[in-house]
A and B are shown apart, each in its own frame.
Chain A
Amino acid sequence: MCAKVLLIDDDVDFRVAVKSLLEGHGYTVLEAASGHEGLQKVVEHKPDAILLDIMMETTTEGYGVTHSLKCRDEFAEYRNTPIFMISSITENPDERFPMAAEVEMIRPDGYLTKPLDIPELLRVLEKTGGATKGAVV
């Protein structure tokens, strides 16, 4: 048993690469190609961490997902699931979507930049419980 990571991104190639990487490090990786599909997968699979693209069908789709998970009652169970938002835009995401800086409800637990820095990604996931968490339970 390994920790489960849900990867929500509309770029299939990015998903393929990151999935292989994380599986190589003992994680179970679930994929979703949209925010909507992502929310469904959260309920179905109860992931331990979520990697979430910001700009998908709309420019701020990822923030909508974060808001749902952090605030909506039907997702209350997953309120503490760590969310890491990812984007290929390198500028501070809070600057790109200034609302996020002030609106607590849509704040993720962290931001990562695409392409993901492999050691950093592994470190971040390790901190949230890591691949061994599932094995302990």
Chain B
Amino acid sequence: MSHSAPAPMVVVIDDDYAMRLSCAKILTKMALRAEVFEDGARGLNGVATTKPDMVIVDLKMPGISGMEVISRVHEIDPQIVIVVITGYATIDTAVQAMKCGAYDFLPKPFSPDELRLIVNRGLERRRLALESQRHEIEQTMLKRRFVTFVSHQLRTPLAAVHQYLDVLKHLDQTGDGAARRQEWLGRCLTRIEELQELIADWLTLARVEGGSLFNERIKVDLNQIIAGILKSYEPTAAAENVSLEACLPDEGLFVPGDRNCLSVLFDNLITNGIKYNKPGGKVTISGSQSRGEVVVAVADTGIGIPEKYRPFLFEEFFRAKDDGAKRTAGTGLGLHICKRIVSEMGGTIDVESQAGAGSTFRVRLPAWREPDIVGSQKDAGQQANIDCR
């Protein structure tokens, strides 16, 4: 507990003067705050004003019964821990009290040690209950913020498209504007495509988070995956005047994983390398394996990432501002997805970058290990031969 928080407060309700007094003495010696009351009505008043962490109440009292005190205390705050003192240590009364919501019971006569034990246990329970309540509230708030944010991300492009079409419809009554119509319809299509991309990314993320993309951990050759991605991006890269180069070991780069996930991972990194490049630039993918670890680096000669943005780069929906450069379409989820995939696979991803000169994303994954029966003679410490193509 932090030293600035007040000591836990315990309220004792008992019609027996000596009992009240001795409980208060012991509790105070435990560095707790204690308030004592002689009957149920005064006790409940006291609970309402002192907001205690714990209430110790005698079941047998004149006036409001102990049982009723239990339920009325919980009406004030259901998290208050209640311990009942039972004069006649019958299991029945104790069970009944617990059913009413009491946490535990102390049969008379009890020793100071028994009191201390039960008070400590009850306060610990209270602390845990409050902690989990706080955690729950935090989670709900986070979730709500996320929902608001996502619905904003989904609604904004729809609103833009809607506004274009609505204004077109409205203004077209006044004639002309064929060129404007063409341009706006083009923008609508672009916004819709971006929205589709966002939804696709979001679904991928949901699957990664749900773990459903990791059903399989088979031996996957990264060479093959990367080669396939590079081939499919040749036209895009050519259109952007960016060259693609691979520098991978001939004998392959094997990791245990899921083919789809690994495709998504390197697809995102390679697309970024092309997208955030400059005309005449290059994307180089190099890989190596040593000491049970596979390292793949995707390096571009593009616009780079200003240092101030780097800490947030892998956060969901984060997008670095282009600082006057061209506006690049993107969902802000790509690198977050990469990070999730890599960490699910027990690896790491990091970035080195120089603004204006390019970025290198480095993925480290555990290498594939042949099962022991086959023997691991090929495995350890063997530095892969690298053949640059």
Q: Are A88 and B170 in contact (CB under 8 A)?
A: no
| Complex contact B166–A115 (CB within 8 A) | yes
Q: Is the CB of A20 within 8 A of B167?
A: yes
- Known contacts A21-B170, A21-B171, A24-B171, A13 near B164 by CB under 8 Å: yes
A18 within 8 A of B: yes
The answer to whether A88 touches B167, judged by C-beta atoms less than 8 angstroms apart, is: no
A76 interface residue per 8 A CB criterion: no
What distance in Å separates the Cβ of A111 from its nearest Cβ neighbour in chain B?
14
What residue of chain B has the Cβ atom nearest to residue A114's Cβ?
B159
Q: Is the CB of B148 within 8 A of A89?
A: yes
Which residues of chain A have C-beta atoms less than 8 A from B171's C-beta?
20-21, 24
**Is B134 on the interface with A (CB-CB < 8 A)?**
no
A17 to B188, CA, bound (A): 11
A96 at the interface (CB under 8 A from B): yes
Docked-complex contact A96 and B148, CB < 8 angstroms? yes
When C-beta atoms are compared, the residue in chain A nearest to B174 turns out to be A24
| Cα–Cα, bound, A57→B347 (Å) | 32
**B166 — which chain A residues lie within 8 A by C-beta?**
17, 115, 118
Chain B: minimal CB distance from A8 (Å): 15
Q: Which residues of chain A from 34 to 86 have any CB-CB distance to chain B below 8 Å in the complex?
A: 55, 59
The yes or no answer to A11 lying at the interface (CB within 8 A) is yes
B160 within 8 A of A: yes
A8 to B32, CA, bound (A): 57
The reply to whether B152 and A55 contact each other, CB–CB distance below 8 Å, is yes
Taking the closest CB of chain B, its distance from the CB of A113, in whole angstroms, is: 9
Contacts of A116 in B (CB 8 A): 163
Contact check, A17 vs B167: say whether CB atoms are below 8 A apart: yes
Please give, as numbers and ranges, the residues of chain B lying within 8 Å of A118 by CB-CB distance: 166-167, 170
Q: B residues 345-379 with Cβ under 8 Å of A? A: none
CB distance from B267 to the nearest CB of A (A): 27
Q: Is the CB of A89 within 8 A of B152?
A: yes
Docked-complex contact B155 and A17, CB < 8 angstroms = no
A49 to chain B, nearest CB (A): 18
Q: Kindly state the separation between the CA atoms of A59 and B149 in the bound complex, as whole angstroms.
A: 8
The answer to whether B155 touches A89 (Cβ under 8 A) is yes
CB distance from B180 to the nearest CB of A (A): 7
B151: chain A residues at CB < 8 Å are 88-89
The answer to whether B162 has its CB under 8 Å from any CB of chain A is yes
Q: If the complex has contacts A13-B187, A24-B171, A24-B174, are A18 and B163 also in contact, measured as CB distance less than 8 A?
A: yes
Q: Are B152's CB and A11's CB within 8 A?
A: no
Within 8 A of A (CB), among B166-216: 166-167, 170-171, 174, 180, 184, 187, 191
Determine if B156 is an interface residue (Cβ-Cβ < 8 Å): yes
Count chain B CB atoms within 10 A of each CB in A11, A59, A96, A115 and give the residue with the most.
A115
CB pair A114–B149 under 8 Å, yes or no, is no
Residues in B124-171 with C-beta less than 8 Å from chain A: 145, 148-149, 151-152, 155-156, 158-164, 166-167, 170-171
CB of B317 to closest CB in A, whole Å: 11
Taking a contact as CB atoms closer than 8 A, the residue among B158, B159, B160, B180 that contacts A20 in the complex is B180
A115 x B180 contact (CB < 8 A): no
Residues of chain B contacted by A59 (CB below 8 angstroms):
145, 148-149, 152
Given known A-B contacts A17-B164, A20-B167, A114 and B155 have beta carbons under 8 A apart: yes
Task: Report the bound CA distance from A116 to B166 in whole Å.
Answer: 9
User: Are A115 and B162 closer than 8 Å at their CB atoms?
Assistant: yes
Q: Is the CB of A11 within 8 A of B167?
A: no
| A21 with B167: CB separation less than 8 A | yes
Chain A hits for B160, CB < 8 A: 11, 13-14, 17, 115
A17 to B160, CA, bound (A): 8
A17–B148 CB distance below 8 A: no
Known: A13-B160, A13-B187, A24-B174. A18 touches B155 (CB 8 A): no
- 4 tightest A-B CB contacts, nearest first: A88-B155, A114-B159, A115-B162, A13-B160
* Known contacts A13-B160, A114-B156, then 14 further A-B pairs from the complex at CB < 8 Å, ordered by chain A residue: A14-B156, A14-B159, A16-B184, A16-B187, A17-B160, A17-B163, A18-B167, A21-B170, A59-B148, A89-B148, A89-B155, A114-B155, A114-B163, A115-B159
What are 11 residue pairs bridging A and B, where the CB atoms are less than 8 Å apart in the complex?
Answer: A13-B164, A14-B159, A21-B167, A21-B171, A24-B170, A88-B151, A88-B159, A114-B156, A115-B158, A115-B163, A115-B166
> Which B residues contact A (CB, under 8 angstroms)?
145, 148-149, 151-152, 155-156, 158-164, 166-167, 170-171, 174, 180, 184, 187, 191
Task: Please give the residue numbers on chain A whose beta carbons come within 8 Å of chain B beta carbons, in ascending order.
Answer: 11, 13-14, 16-18, 20-21, 24, 55, 59, 87-89, 96, 114-116, 118
